[in-house]
Amino acid sequence: MKPVRFAAVARPKPQPSGIDVVSTLLHFAIITYAVPPERLRPLVHERFELLTIEVNGERRALVSVVPFQELDFRLAAYPSPQFRFGQTNYRVYVTDRSTGQPCVWFLGSLLDSVTVMIPRYIWKLPWHYGQMRFDCRLGADGLYSHYAIRTRSAWGSAALELRQGTGLFQQHGGFPDEETALVYLTHPLSGYYTRRDGQLGSYSIWHDKLEMQSAEVVAARFEALERLGVASFEEQCRPYSALVQAQTEFTIYLPPGLA
């Protein structure tokens, strides 16, 4: 793997139009697990190559759980109503064999909103309903004094507790350097998935470079990862990486299309 710089992957923000949306994301976290590639290979379309790194002398593929709260989900190009709801994405880091571009493969997403009917039934995304409760408090130092999320869902209930402290830092082994690791983990702008009708779907987003901080996992329990055979409950308490950012803004380009 060659070193990658944020400057090399930066691109101008595509001008939003139509039904493209923008939203401020709160309590944005990326919890990543390094697992044997054979656990993920059957879950990912053959067009995509798993991103693998060496961890403790063994090849490992990377999968992340990404929870956050949408503060003001709204149309980007026109005035519109605003919606607030929780969301959690389950994604695998991959490379598109047809383009050579790094991207993510979505195993599924949970939305705490009745608007989940639009991506699920109209666009056929593997999105599911889940009730999410955020209990998060920032200290005066900008670090979380308390971070906890609880999710109830037929697709996969979840619980996550994080801890932050001054001087907390994690080294992302297996990458050439830290910047390369953060480019891959925090800056994929294209996502793919198997639609609910079996076809290959895709959509794209845009955001500035994220300024994420290290965190420790106090407790984690993701039923979807256990059920899919990706990571056991015991393994989920020992992530490869835990990063969090109190607030950021994403633009999502809609509608999603066929890949």
Q: Three-state SS for 210?
A: coil
Instruction: Please determine, for residue 97, whether its predicted confidence score (pLDDT) is greater than 90.
Output: yes
Q: List pLDDT tens digits, range 79-95.
A: 999 999 999 999 999 99
* Tens-digit pLDDT profile for residues 244-259: 999 999 999 999 999 9
User: What pLDDT was estimated at residue 34?
Assistant: 98
**What integer pLDDT is reported at residue 26 of this predicted model?**
98
Q: Please provide the average confidence, as pLDDT, over all residues in the chain.
A: 97
* pLDDT for residue 169: 84
pLDDT of residue 36: 98
Q: What is the pLDDT of residue 167?
A: 81
DSSP structure string for 122-169:
IS--SEEE-EEEEEEEE-TTSSEEEEEEEEE-SS--EEEEEE--TT--
Helix, strand or coil for residue 179?
Answer: helix
pLDDT > 90 fraction of the chain, expressed in percent and rounded: 97
Round to whole Å and give the CA distance between 194 and 226. 20
Q: Which DSSP string do the residues of 56-100 spell out, in sequence order?
A: TTEEEEEEEEEEEEEEEEEESSS----EEEEEEEEEEEEEETTT-
User: What is residue 115's three-state secondary structure?
Assistant: helix
Q: Give CA separation, 158 vs 99, 111, 204, in Å.
A: 34, 13, 26
Question: Could you read off the pLDDT of 118-176 as tens digits, one per residue?
Answer: 999 999 999 999 999 999 999 999 999 999 999 999 999 999 999 998 888 888 999 99
- CB count, 10 Å around CB of 89? 19
The DSSP call for residue 26 is E
State the CB neighbour count (10 A cutoff) for residue 203: 19
Q: What pLDDT shows up at residue 215?
A: 97
**Which pLDDT belongs to residue 170?**
87
Average pLDDT estimate for 183-210 = 97
Tens of pLDDT, residue by residue over 201-225, are 999 999 999 999 999 999 999 999 9
Angstrom distance (rounded) from CA 163 to CA 34: 20
State the Cα–Cα distance between residues 69 and 134, nearest whole angstrom: 8
CA 219 to chain centre: 18
Gap between the Cα atoms of 131 and 247, Å rounded: 21
What is residue 119's DSSP assignment? I
**What domains are defined for the chain?**
26-258 (2.40.400)
101 - beta bridge partners?
Answer: none
- Pull the structure tokens for residue 97: 């064999």
Contacts of 227 (CB under 8 A, 6+ apart): 156
Q: How many CB atoms lie within 10 A of CB 46?
A: 7
Q: Please give the model's pTM, rounded to 2 decimal places.
A: 0.97
